[in-house]
Amino acid sequence: MQISGAQMVIEALIAEEVEVVFGYPGGAIMNVYDAIYQQNSFQHILTRHEQAAVHAAEGYAKASGRVGVAMITSGPGFTNAVTGIADAYMDSVPLVVISGQVPMSLIGTDAFQEIDAVGISRPCTKHNYLVTDAKDLPRVLKEAFYLARTGRPGPVHVDIPKDVTAQIALFDYSKEVELETYKPTIKGNVRQIKKAVDAIAHAKRPLLYLGGGVISSGASDLVREFSTAMNIPAVETFMARGTLHHSDPLLISMLGMHGSYAANMAMSETDLVIGLGARFDDRVTGKISEFAKNAQIIHVDIDPASISKLVNAHFPIVGDVKNVLETLIPLAKEQVDPSRYAPWIKTIANFNKLHPLGYTEGTDRLKPQWVVQRIGQILGDGANISTDVGQHQMWTAQFYPFSRPRQWNSSGGLGTMGYGFPAAIGVKRADKGRVSINITGDGSILMNIQELMTAVEYDLPVINVILNNNFLGMVRQWQTMFYDKRHSSTDLSIQPDFVKLAESFGGVGYRVTTKEEFDAALHDAIEKNVVAIIDVAVERFENVLPMVPAGGSLFNMMLEYKDK
């Protein structure tokens, strides 16, 4: 077909079986939006901010396992989207972000709404393109989707000048992608896998260390099989919540800066770390020299650059976690005696008894941990849980009873406030059959509050539960503990009326101060199936515990904080 560059974008999205695009139009991308208007193969959702468009595409991608798509214009349209792109890069989320650019003749002239989008996106994308001829668009778009979803997933940026979207050229999408310098290793080296199995068979205190790559590769079922068959306990990173069912007796908990005592002690006492799809992030390892210092390390990851980047791997295995486990599990079943780990499991049980993850009930405001647990009791597997960033995020990771992969959706590596609500919109679009809950804070929710309009317009009922402590809670916690209570610019006592705010956008608002009121509000929001805000007054000075101070060792946790 001889068609315009703008039409090529549409045809490529159709060929990739894209069902929804999140975006915001502008001058440089107008030709493409005109082509969107004339098609009915996929839905376009107009967010109210470009950052939100990318976060919504992230939420959709995380919940569905498919490539998310966002579309934006040049200049400030693109710079507004950079936070979302960087967030996706840090958390290995497969996205294709298509941006408009000023015409070729104006590039480099400081034209209206010109910005070097490719230069800006280079450090925070898996790959990026500036398309200078419409004949290249079919190849570039096909490569973009291929790169986004293969190997270690990530965002790919395609920048298209306005005149290129108007050019007429041949559209041929039939050619297979062939990239000389991009050949991700999918299957692990069998010799290395055999060595790893031998190490497992001889270990006394092995520990599964599960990262977000397990979710990305679709390996959760195999991990469950492996853990159960081998009788090996497991810890999950923040990004891996839901890999194992919350009731699994071999799941210890989340580890890291705000991990449980048992999980962090298990990592400190293990003699063999079996790292699957994890990158040994600083929030997990704490002080590197003290991290699992008595253990050998098996590290399975599809990204060779991640292996031994921070912690030296004794048994490095480059490959997709799912494929590696398909080879490893039969070998392990032949060689490993699961009963040999019984004493180790008993030790971990003692860690749990010594300092179980919990909290004390409050006498004034509700405890935020109770709110999270109560949502889990009422909805359980029937909800997909998103969060913003802060204390509420950590309480959710600690206390929600996750039961399946892709149930949990949050900003990990970049820690982006304002992520939760638009991401929850994307999650709802991907999984309309489950309730989409965004657990947020009174600071985070205001960063993309305008997306109430998006959720209402497109009938994507997200329930926002605000754990309202009138503070930028996590920063306040650090100021309390490490800055002698100098609460600089963290008091949020002056706030909007969140109930009226929700109603002004066409949603429903609830103000909650008691357990009974919370139950009634949540049940009502679920029954009405509407966009909602539940503003919950929670204990102002509650801290997230346990806590490993920055740069500290995992075994040196703050288990309580006594006000001086």
Note the pLDDT tens digit of each residue in 291-347: 999 999 999 999 999 999 999 999 999 999 999 999 999 999 999 999 999 999 999
Confidence of residue 430 (pLDDT cuts 50, 70, 90): very high
- Tell me whether residue 474 is one of the annotated catalytic residues: yes
Its domain, for residue 322, covers 190-354
Q: What percent of the chain has pLDDT over 70?
A: 100
Q: What is the pLDDT of residue 556?
A: 94
Across the chain, mean pLDDT equals 97
241: tokens are 């919540």
Which residue, among 197, 448, 418, has the nearest Cα to 298 in the 3D structure? 197
- Tell me whether residue 162 is one of the annotated catalytic residues: yes
Same structural domain, 19 and 131:
yes
Same structural domain, 234 and 319:
yes
The last residue of one of the domains, among 319, 354, 389, is 354
Rounded to 5 degrees, φ, ψ at 203 are -75, 155
In a domain, 549, yes or no: no
CA distance 225 to 227: 6
- Tell me whether residue 432 is one of the annotated catalytic residues: no
- Tell me whether residue 167 is one of the annotated catalytic residues: no
Q: What type of residue is 352? A: N
Largest CA distance in the chain: 74
Note the pLDDT tens digit of each residue in 502-522: 999 999 999 999 999 999 999
CA distances (Å), origin 233, targets 36, 130, 400, 494, 548: 50, 48, 20, 46, 22
Average pLDDT rounded to a whole number, residues 407-417: 98
Note the pLDDT tens digit of each residue in 218-235: 999 999 999 999 999 999
- Tell me whether residue 280 is one of the annotated catalytic residues: no
Note the pLDDT tens digit of each residue in 451-505: 999 999 999 999 999 999 999 999 999 999 999 999 999 999 999 999 999 999 9
User: Is the Cβ–Cβ distance between 401 and 380 less than 8 Å?
Assistant: yes
Domain CATH code at residue 342: 3.40.50.1220
Same structural domain, 18 and 123:
yes
Q: Which of 19, 42, 104, 113 is catalytic?
A: 113
The last residue of one of the domains, among 323, 354, 385, is 354
Query: Residue 564 pLDDT > 70, yes or no?
Result: no
Same structural domain, 159 and 196:
no
CA distance 503 to 454: 14
Q: What is the pLDDT of residue 561?
A: 85
In a domain, 555, yes or no: no
Tokens 């704490």 belong to 286
- Coil/strand/helix, residue 4: strand
Note the pLDDT tens digit of each residue in 518-557: 999 999 999 999 999 999 999 999 999 999 999 999 999 9
Quote the number of domains for the chain: 3
- What's the per-residue H, E or C state across 20-31? EEEECCCHHHHH
Note the pLDDT tens digit of each residue in 321-334: 999 999 999 999 99
In a domain, 557, yes or no: no
In a domain, 178, yes or no: no
Average pLDDT rounded to a whole number, residues 149-164: 98
CA distance 178 to 502: 49
Q: What is the pLDDT of residue 252?
A: 98
Same structural domain, 493 and 423:
yes
Which residue, among 103, 168, 176, has the nearest Cα to 139 in the 3D structure? 176
Same structural domain, 375 and 350:
no
Q: Which of 11, 16, 50, 451 is catalytic?
A: 50
Domain CATH code at residue 420: 3.40.50.970
Q: Which of 62, 126, 142, 162 is catalytic?
A: 162
Same structural domain, 306 and 400:
no
Same structural domain, 131 and 23:
yes
Q: What is the pLDDT of residue 563?
A: 74
Which residue, among 232, 291, 236, has the nearest Cα to 259 in the 3D structure? 236
In a domain, 179, yes or no: no
CB neighbourhood size of 262 (10 A): 24
CB neighbourhood size of 458 (10 A): 18
Same structural domain, 424 and 509:
yes
Burial 213-235 (b: 16+ CB within 10 A, else e): bbbbbebbebbbebbeebbbbbb
Same structural domain, 149 and 242:
no
In a domain, 556, yes or no: no
Q: Which of 39, 43, 112, 335 is catalytic?
A: 112
Burial 174-211 (b: 16+ CB within 10 A, else e): eeeeeeeeeeeeeebbeebbeebbebbbebebbbbbbb
In a domain, 203, yes or no: yes
What does R_g of the chain's alpha carbons equal in angstroms?
24
The last residue of one of the domains, among 140, 170, 200, is 170
Note the pLDDT tens digit of each residue in 64-110: 999 999 999 999 999 999 999 999 999 999 999 999 999 999 999 99
Q: Which of 265, 394, 474, 547 is catalytic?
A: 474
In a domain, 490, yes or no: yes
Query: DSSP letter string over 340-394?
Result: GGHHHHHHHHHHHHHS-S--PPPSSSBPHHHHHHHHHHHHGGGEEEEE-SSHHHH
Q: What type of residue is 254? A: M
Q: How many helices (H) and strands (E) does the chain have?
A: 21, 20
Confidence of residue 174 (pLDDT cuts 50, 70, 90): very high
**pTM score, two decimals?**
0.97
Same structural domain, 528 and 422:
yes
Rounded to 5 degrees, φ, ψ at 191 are -60, -40
Same structural domain, 377 and 524:
yes
